[in-house]
């Protein structure tokens, strides 16, 4: 390894685990009103978006994360027309949503306009023109405040936020109170999709707490995982709904993929869906254990 620490990026996976990435080039480094932001080119994963010192996505494997976050929810819904996105500054989550020919309106709320501007400049291949799509409605405000004030409901609500860091911009969007608000803003067959943190069995605090908190609000909650190399291993997600059974046969998923005109998917299909929701026994056991509820008065902070 190079002895020059400036040529290595230290990505803190957890309090006790750090992943090193060689830095070929720092394309941008700055600080917004809400968080630090860097765009770096790494040796293994190409260009990466880094917020508050943590890799949020890499050009090599961002399709895995964004397809895993978006596609199971939208495919599980019989006809998603209205979608709400909290976060997702790269525009890749919005990109995946707009691939669906059923979607008529996508409302994206990201409080940090500088992150979006920076990603448009340095990572345009992530959004692929999604910000300019006539179905897109972009707001720079607090997602929780927007949902509290608006009266409309959505078929899909996607929570694509940074992990809950103390004094960070997202920690109050992981709480029971927030999920109750989301429930009020979903249509009868609506689905919420949440990125839920590491699914490595030594680092399950966030995943298990998000799952447990969602279960206190929604009658149907489905945890799943997929390996994301740039994140250092398996990553957890949750779908939740009031009514829908979100587990389907691979053949039905592939049929819906074809009907929706999803020709650009590189990761997700019927077999991948089945694999993501087929959790290993140790993970099933750990998620079934009683764990903490995340609330406004007792929020979850990672690394604390």
Q: Which residues contact 43 (CB under 8 A, 6 or more apart)?
A: 21, 22, 23, 24
CA distance 183 to 190: 8
Active-site choice (160, 227, 254, 296): 160
Rounded alpha-carbon distances, angstroms, from residue 148 to 179, 184, 217, 241, 300: 11, 9, 17, 19, 21
Structure tokens, 42: 């790494």
Helices (H) and strands (E) in the chain, counts: 10, 12
Which helix (H) or strand (E) segment holds residue 160: the answer is strand 154-160
Dihedral sign from CA coordinates of 271, 276, 278, 282: positive
- Catalytic annotation on 160? yes
Just list the catalytic residues: 160
């Amino acid at each position: 390894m190079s002895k020059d620490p400036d040529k290595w990026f230290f990505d803190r996976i957890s309090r006790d685990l750090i992943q090193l990435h060689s830095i070929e080039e720092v394309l941008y480094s700055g600080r917004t009103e809400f968080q630090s932001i860097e765009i770096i080119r790494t040796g293994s994963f190409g260009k990466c978006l880094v917020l508050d010192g943590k890799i949020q996505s890499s050009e090599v494997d961002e399709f895995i994360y964004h397809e895993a976050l978006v596609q199971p929810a939208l495919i599980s819904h019989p006809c998603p027309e209205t979608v709400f996105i909290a976060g997702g500054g790269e525009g890749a989550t919005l990109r995946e949503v707009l691939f669906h020919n059923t979607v008529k309106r996508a409302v994206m709320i990201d409080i940090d306009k500088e992150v979006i501007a920076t990603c448009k400049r340095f990572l345009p291949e992530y959004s692929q023109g999604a910000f300019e799509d006539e179905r897109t409605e972009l707001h720079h405000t607090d997602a929780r405040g927007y949902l509290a004030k608006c009266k409309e409901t959505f078929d899909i609500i996607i929570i694509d936020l940074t992990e809950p860091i103390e004094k960070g911009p997202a920690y109050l969007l992981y709480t029971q109170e927030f999920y109750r608000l989301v429930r009020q803003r979903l249509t009868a067959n609506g689905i919420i999709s949440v990125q839920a943190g590491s699914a490595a069995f030594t680092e399950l605090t966030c995943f298990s707490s998000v799952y447990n908190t969602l279960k206190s609000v929604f009658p149907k909650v489905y945890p799943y995982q997929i390996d994301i190399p740039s994140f250092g291993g398996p990553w957890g997600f949750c779908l939740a709904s009031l009514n829908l059974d979100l587990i389907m046969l691979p053949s039905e998923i592939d049929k819906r993929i074809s009907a929706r005109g999803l020709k650009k998917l590189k990761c997700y299909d019927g077999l991948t869906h089945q694999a993501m929701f087929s959790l290993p026994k140790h993970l099933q056991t750990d998620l079934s254990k009683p764990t903490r509820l995340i609330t406004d008065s007792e929020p979850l902070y990672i690394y604390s």
